[in-house]
Each structure stands twice: as C-alpha cells, then as structure tokens.
Amino acid sequence: MAELTNEKEMAPSPSVEMAKGDMDKTTIDEDALKLAEMGYTQEMSRNFSVWSVLGVGFSLTNSWFGISAALITGINSGGPLLIIYGIILIALISTCVGITLSEMASAMPNAGGQYFWANELAPKRWANIASYLTGWFAWAGSIFTSASVALAMGSATVGCYQLSHPDLIIKPWHTFVAYQMANIFCFFFNCYGRTLPTIAKVTLWTSLVSFAVILITVPAVAPTHQHAKFVFATFINGTGWAEGGIAFIVGLVNTNWSFACLDSASHLAEEVHRPERMIPIAIMGTVAIGFVTSWFFSVAMFFSIVGDFTNILSSATYVPILELFYQALSNKAGAIFLEAMIIATGLGCLVASHTWQSRLCWSFARDRGLPGYQWLSKVHPKLDVPVNAHFASCVIVAIVGCLYLASLTAFNSMITACIVLLYLSYSIPVICLLVKGRANIKPGPFWLGPIGLVANIVTLLWTLFTLVMYSFPFAKPVLTSNMNYVSLVYAVIVIIITVDWFVRGRKHFRGASERHNDVVVVMEAVRHGSVASAGHGYA
C-alpha cells in the first residue's frame, strides 16, 4: 500500500497537466520545464557541456592522482599486488556503482542527487527520514573528501620544499598551513559561475597531460627497473596482522579512495542541458578514464622504483612518490617539477571537490535539510553560484583541518569515513528503488535492466563490506597512535543528524509530498519567468 500511495503522489495531477499544457505552447526551456515538474525552479544557468561535466567528475575522482598520493603507502599493507589487482577490483565495483548512479541520474536528473532520489523512491512513511539521512551522509562525505585532498596538497607542497632544503624537519604545523593555503586558494575558483566550465575542462586536460608526462618520463630515465615478479606478484604485509587477507583489506582503503566521489557529476544536473543523457556519460567516463590512468600509472611507477622500496617509505619529505621521482631522475629540480604537475592536478581535484560540496549543500538547503537553510539556499544573482553554501562548506573544511594538529590518526579516520559515508548515501536510494521495484519507475535514457539490478546489489553488498571491514585497525598491536577512529566519526555524524532532525529537521524538511503540492505554483512561476520569486518561496 505504501508503494501505491507513493506512486499516486508522484503522478501529475490534472492541474499540473493543464499547467504543463499551457507551458508547452510557450518557448519555455525543456530542461527548466522538467525541473519545474519536480518542484524546483531553474536558479543557475546551464553553462556546462558534457566535457566540462566530465571535467568536474574526473578531476574530482582523478584515480591516478589518488594512487600517486597513496601508492607507496599501500605497499606496506599488501605490496604491489594490492595496488595492481586492487585497482582492478575497485574499478569493477565502481563500474557497478557508476551504473547505479547513472540509472537514477538519468531517470531523475536533479542537483540533489542521491537525497532527492531517496525522497522520490522511498515509501511515504519513510521518505523524509531516508532523504534526510542521505543528504547529511553525502554532504559530510564531501567535506571529508575535500579535507583529504587538501591534506594531500599540503603534504606534497611541504615535501617539495623539504627536498630542496634538506635541513628542514617537517612539523605538523607546516603541513597544516599548506593545507589551509590550498583550501583558500581553491575557494576562489568556484566564485564565478561562467568560468567554472572552462576551469573544469582545463583541470581535466591538466590531469591527463600530467599523467602522460610522468608516465613517459619516470620509466624512461630510471637507471634500473624492478622485475615483473615484484610488480605483479609481490605481497608485502607490514601491518602486524597475521592474516594476509586483513592486511590486503586495510590497504584497499587507499585504492578505494582513488575511485570515490562518483556522484559528483549528478549534482550538476541543473547546470547542463539534457542531463538525463549527459550525466551518465560523465559518470561512466570517469570510471573508464580512472581505471586506465591509475592502472598504467601504478605499473609504471612500480617498475621505476630504484633500489629498496623501504628507502622510499622512510623519505624525509614524507611524500613517497616524490622520493621515487628523485631516485629515478637523480635530480631534485626534475623531481620537484614532476611533483608540481601532481600538485597542479590535485588543486584541480580540490576545485572540483569544492564545486561538488557546494552543490550538495545548496541543493539540500533549498529543501530545508540544513540549519541556516535560508542563507545557504541562495544563489548569487550576478556570480551565478551558491556562494553562501560554497563559503560555509570551505569554512568547515578549514575547521576539520585543525584536527590534523591534534591527531594524524584521527584525521586519517575521517578520510576512511568519506568513502563509507558516500557509499551509504548511494545505498539508501538503491534500497528504496529495490523496495519500490525497478519496474515501477519511469526509466531515463540510461537504463540497463537486469544489468542494472546486478549493479544495485553489488553496490549494496560493497557498502556493507566497507562499513564493517574499513573499521578495522590499520595495524597491530593496536595502540592509541594507530587506532582506527572511524567508528567514532560515524557516531559524531549520527549524533549531529539525530539532534538536528528532532530539533528542527522533522518539522521543516521539505519532502516529496510538499514538493509535489508546489509543482503547479512552480510551473506557473517558470511560465511567467518568475524564477527569483519562486526559487525560495518554499524554503
């Protein structure tokens, strides 16, 4: 009965059909009309093309960059075997996740992404809480992702300085300052809407060119090379875990991080034309390019390790990939230049992460999902971006960075949390989809039928796997200094969500029922060009 009731709510009323009929006679943009049918007005310009959306999606996921940041770290908990075959495993999982996200983005293209899908698909009784949890998990995951990228940039920058100044002993505050500088620097790139598509395409090509230069240069100039057995068949367990499988799983977190954030393109659905087609292309393209670049990069770098890999792990720069460059090139300037290309790629990744987190925050706030939604849901009329949501998200990233000064272990736990929280945000709408029945929704152009069902199930099983296994300690014996505090991070997030839900959210959150009732008014507003008046009339 719940499904039937919810289906009835989703069906357009006669008044909606009349409003739509009147609008069909006008020159209303078709994408804006489809958005109006969901209960939203077009507040931002559709400046993005499929290439620029792909630029945001790939620049954020940027798998080869993620591997470069975690490449040698993974050696200690699985060795080259972990990275080489872990990439294949995670790429297969990510293909299933990408199919799952693409199907829903194609059927229901909306900047809210997974929280919107959960609200539309869940039974009426559970729709609001399912959507609310999804929105919070997704936004928290995006914050932690930005923090992890900013830390990688801070570490790389300080490492380059240390390589050129060997007397420097790196302290946590050095990396903290560089972290904050990267966060502030990248903040400004998301403050003007018209330049964002160009920036996205530039960051895409920056990543691909940097990948090509490093892939060719390092193996070509390395004085010696590792044997194929080391690259493809060496398993190293330095974690203290007696079970090799646990060591492999602990190390898999690093590889999984390199394929995270696949939903990012879906949150640009209101800034690209024909999003039901363009968003799936961007998501699946991200997975494909990510696998090819990360796998070949890993193979090339492992072959290029000069001497004993433990020398790379013990580098005074604390940036193993930089030390690998230095040993291969025997030239500090050359190594720093190659690392600068990685930093440029990483800054593009952080810009894309800021774009993603701001759209998540803004879209969730316009349905009153966050405290201060009146302020966070505003789009700047001249800059054509949700500046308030962008600013607030970046401030929170800056605050999260302060934890690095207190505990590197606790900060690393948030990096793990970003992976699992995002998977949870994908899984909630998938559960709602399967409960409702895949045959009971109107599919978009991207719909794979039975293959999609398999992808849905794999996504759910992998989410459960990561929720349990990624909570294991990083090493044994377990000490305060190496404990995995990710469960504590989950607890803090759940407490925040619970308090906000009972204090504010359950009374104010704009769910599917209210939004469907607003459709006629929104469509009339779009018809008369009253975007400004309708945009926040329900906030």
**pLDDT of 191-221, one tens digit each?**
988 888 899 899 999 999 999 999 999 999 9
Q: Domain coordinates of the chain in residue numbers?
A: 45-514
Q: What is the pLDDT of residue 73?
A: 59
Span 45-514 CATH architecture: Up-down Bundle (1.20)
**Helix H segments across 437-517?**
450-469, 486-500, 506-508, 512-517
What six digits make up the tokens of 413? 């736990």
Q: What is the mean pLDDT of residues 255-274?
A: 89
- pTM, full prediction: 0.89
Q: How confident is the model at residue 466 (pLDDT cuts 50, 70, 90)?
A: very high
**pLDDT of 59-74, one tens digit each?**
888 889 888 887 655 6
What six digits make up the tokens of 98? 């990408």
Long-range contacts of 91-95 (CB under 8 A, 24+ apart): 91/259, 91/287, 91/290, 91/291, 91/294, 91/295, 93/259, 93/458, 93/462, 94/259, 94/262, 94/287, 94/290, 94/291, 95/284, 95/287, 95/455
**pLDDT of 469-478, one tens digit each?**
888 887 777 7
Task: Please say if the pLDDT value at position 23 is more than 60.
Answer: no
Q: What is the pLDDT of residue 115?
A: 94
- From 370-374, 406-410, 510-514, the region with the lowest mean pLDDT: 406-410
| DSSP reduced 3-state for 207 | helix
Average pLDDT, the chain: 86
Q: How far apart are CA 322 and CA 153, in angstroms?
A: 12
**Helix H segments across 258-386?**
275-303, 309-313, 320-329, 332-366, 373-376
Q: What is the mean pLDDT of residues 294-307?
A: 92
- Which residues is 237 bridged to in the sheet? 77
- Which residues is 272 bridged to in the sheet? 48
Q: What is the mean pLDDT of residues 124-128?
A: 91
Least Cα distance to 295 among 343, 259, 260, 246 occurs for 259
Task: Please say if the pLDDT value at position 450 is more than 90.
Answer: yes
Least Cα distance to 193 among 139, 271, 265 occurs for 271
**In a 10 Å sphere around its CB, with 0-12 CB exposed, 13-18 middle and 19+ buried, how is residue 507 labelled?**
exposed
- From 350-364, 402-416, 489-503, the region with the lowest mean pLDDT: 402-416
What six digits make up the tokens of 322? 């930089």
Task: Please say if the pLDDT value at position 9 is more than 50.
Answer: no
Q: How confident is the model at residue 2 (pLDDT cuts 50, 70, 90)?
A: very low
Q: What is the pLDDT of residue 88?
A: 95
Task: Please say if the pLDDT value at position 458 is more than 70.
Answer: yes
- Which residues is 77 bridged to in the sheet? 237
- Whether cis (ω within 30° of 0) applies to the bond prior to 477 is yes
Q: Which residues of 517-536 are buried (b: 16+ CB within 10 A; e: fewer)?
A: ebbbbbbbbbbeeebeebbb
Q: What is the pLDDT of residue 41?
A: 81
Q: Which tops the pLDDT comparison, 48 or 27?
A: 48
Task: Please say if the pLDDT value at position 536 is more than 70.
Answer: no
Half-sphere exposure of residue 232: CA atoms within 13 angstroms, side-chain side: 4
Q: Which tops the pLDDT comparison, 115 or 235?
A: 115
Q: How far apart are CA 371 and CA 361, in angstroms?
A: 11
**pLDDT of 159-198, one tens digit each?**
999 999 999 999 999 999 999 999 999 999 999 888 888 9
Q: What is the pLDDT of residue 442?
A: 92
**pLDDT of 409-435, one tens digit each?**
777 777 788 899 999 999 999 999 999
